[in-house]
Structure 1
Amino acid sequence: MQEHVELARADFPLVFKDILDKEHFESRMFFSDPISRYTFFRGYHFNVTFLRLFLAPIFEVHEIRQAGPHELVLKWSWTMNFWWLRFTPFKLVWDPRLTFTGVTILGYHPQTGKWNKQVDAWDSIQDNDFFSFEGAAFVVKQMFQVSKPPNRFTPEFCIMKKLKDWEIRSYKPFVAAQVAGRSEEAAEALLRAYTGGANERRQRLDLTTPLWRNSQGATLLALPGIQDVGSAPAPSDRAVTLQAVPERWYAAWVFTGHPSPADIVGRMESVRVRTRAEGTKPVEGAPWLFARYNDRNWPWGPFRRNEALVQVDPATFDLWRGVDWDFVKRIVKRPV
């Protein structure tokens, strides 16, 4: 079993790369997720190849556990994007990103040791059996999101759990320029001046996204490609300060439009309610963040992307919480 755990760690991060070792799979293989099903490895491999070529998936395995005598269960995150849209006129209004988190029940043949069963279940839906109309609706909803952030650097994060209309993220450390005690408009002007060359080196920095505004009245903008404060050019204006932002976890809700201050506060409270119901605790006293991805006046309405982020305590997050173990047991017992 331990050999297969190590094999799964080695194989499955490579599923969507063109180096998957086909010799590790039985020709007769059962694969199922909420919207597709195959009973032979050729069908499974066709599905994987199609996704790799057209949606450029990023697949990350977080943890692996034993689920049965010849079965494992993997916890993962999975993000896809329509990369080829960048070469079409549609890129101006449509650039969807599909995100899933969930579990894979992975089985192997006891005599050959080769994989012969893979069944995926998503955190975002209740009905994970094929064919799931709930699953299809979730995919369509993500595909037709028209809110589009600019093509700029944004701080790196991993979505640890994707639920129906919100998610839990782990952000990697980054450096930000900050302005406190000013209106958002005035702060944005100072930050744009800093990145435009108003610094000791007269160095122009690429604009990033989003522009963050926290509940304490500070406005922040991440600096691209800068790993520590000492590497960033010092601001010419004392109103602009530099801040090292450590790794943090946030519960996030993506929405569109031009929200009012009252609407933003209401969404933050909704995120807190969802987070507590899921079992992860918000960090008491930590400022919330409103993220605006687009310029102030363009685009309009549903084409704008905003986020409400509430900092959460990663020590209270359980990667396996909410997994339908009855579904896992049923798949373990299912013969191939």
Structure 2
Amino acid sequence: MKAIRINEYGGTEVLKLEEIARPVPAADEILVKIYASGVNPVDWVIRNGKSEALRSFLTLPMTLGWDAAGIIEETGRDVTSFKKGDEVYGVPNFPGNGSYAEYCVAKAVQFALKPKSIGFNESAGVPLAALTAWTAMFKYGKLQPGQRILIQGASGGVGGFAVQLAKAKSAYVIAIASTDNIEYLRELGADEVIDYKTQQYENLVHNIDVVLEASPIRENKERIKSVSVLKQGGILVSVNTDFPFDDQVIAAVSRKNAKAELSSNQPRQDWLTVIARLIDEGKVRVFINKVFSLEDVAEAHRESESWHVRGKLVLEVKKDN
């Protein structure tokens, strides 16, 4: 089968289209014929090898991609939740054989039936970003209906899903983004939108239950501002798990009797099933920025690395007929 592999760390030149053996599912795994794969910042962070925290988990050569949509080709002997021919979406094993390929294997519990109302390309843009938002807000942030959440980086892949999922759960959403994305975030359902280029949110909002750091900015001084808008007992959640909270942030959190959490994504079938239902009910929409062929993966990575992508980037591996 064809797959995009890296045999060394580096720039987009290390992305190679290779012919490799089709993987075989273990007893608790599924083999998925990939129709589309999402492209996420973690893909090129792994590719360039600059994250020491991630490199310790990785073995080269490897196939990139941790967002997948396709059709089940084969199930392991212990898998009872799926059958051959099911249309699914989810997160391949990490680290392991990724979704930039014609086939991938994954733990069955990391996949669910894909949303019925959208195609494979759109479905492939959902799992990693939506699950990252879900894990951060509901597992670590304990977000409840009626609570106020401030979302930083709200126009990005994770942030866009966070806005919609929080609204679907009846939270009050305050989104932070640049001027160009104000209307986009209102369209997503944000109750308030703050333009970080012209406004200082720390002077505008207060008594926030949850702050979600979904911005790529890694700066503990900015986190101090986030803590300042929390209510007593509030929660600051960051998806930037490679960037720990420093002593000043921890002290500021302590003074507020609050919590600071680093949220690791959890690829759970039950959450994917709920997200699919919300999409089919029209409560969550999927915005695809651009679709690339597998051969154009380098261009997709360059686009993602610009940090100016609204919505999701997708690799179309197989045409959805």
TM-score (norm: length of structure 2): 0.28
Q: Which has the higher strand share?
A: 1
Give the number of the structure with larger relative contact order, counting CA–CA contacts within 8 Å between residues 6 or more apart: 2
